[in-house]
Amino acid sequence: MTEVKASMAGSVWKLVAAQGDQINEGDDVAILESMKMEIPIPSESSGTVKEIKVEEGDFVNEGDVIAIIE
């Protein structure tokens, strides 16, 4: 099990993956938006998306868990 964490503080602009999706390492899970910049948040491992911890529009801090991959 691995956690996908936010690499910067910002709001969740788009969720690209959904619970139950099969994803590969490097696939984007979410796109964060902060200070006029959009940053994709990729998964560091392949697997199934067990849980998405945030919703679109949520504010996350750097290091917050966005999703759990199994």
Partner 1 sequence: MFKKVLIANRGEIAARVIRTCKQMGIATVAVYSEADQHAPYVGLADESYLIGKPRVNESYLNIDKIVSVAKESGAEAIHPGYGLLSENTEFAKRIEKEGITFIGPSADVIGKMGDKIAARNEMKRAGVPIIPGTEQAVESAEKAKEWAASFGYPVMLKASAGGGGIGMQAVSNDEELEKAFEGNSKRAKAFFGNGSMFIEKLIENPRHIEIQVLADQHGNGVYLFERECSIQRRHQKVVEEAPSPVLSEDTRTRMGESAMKAVQALHYTNAGTIEFLVDDNENYYFLEMNTRLQVEHPVTEEITGIDLVEQQLRVANGEKLTFKQNDLTINGHAIEVRIYAEDPNTFYPSPGKLTKLDLPDGPGVRHELAVHSSSEITPFYDPMIAKLIVHAETRDEAIERMTQAIHQYEVEGIKSNVTMLKRIITHDKFKQGETKTTFIQDYYLPTLTNQ
What is the rounded distance in angstroms from the CA atom of residue 22 to the CA atom of residue 9?
26
What is the rounded distance in angstroms from the CA atom of residue 64 to the CA atom of residue 1?
16
Cβ 2 vs Cβ 24: under 8 Å? no
Least distance CB 44 / partner 1 (angstroms): 16
Nearer to partner 1, 10 or 49 (CB): 10
- Note the residues at the interface with partner 1 (CB under 8 A): 7-11, 33-37, 39, 59, 62
Nearer to partner 1, 60 or 69 (CB): 60
Least distance CB 70 / partner 1 (angstroms): 27
Nearer to partner 1, 9 or 68 (CB): 9
What is the rounded distance in angstroms from the CA atom of residue 29 to the CA atom of residue 52?
9
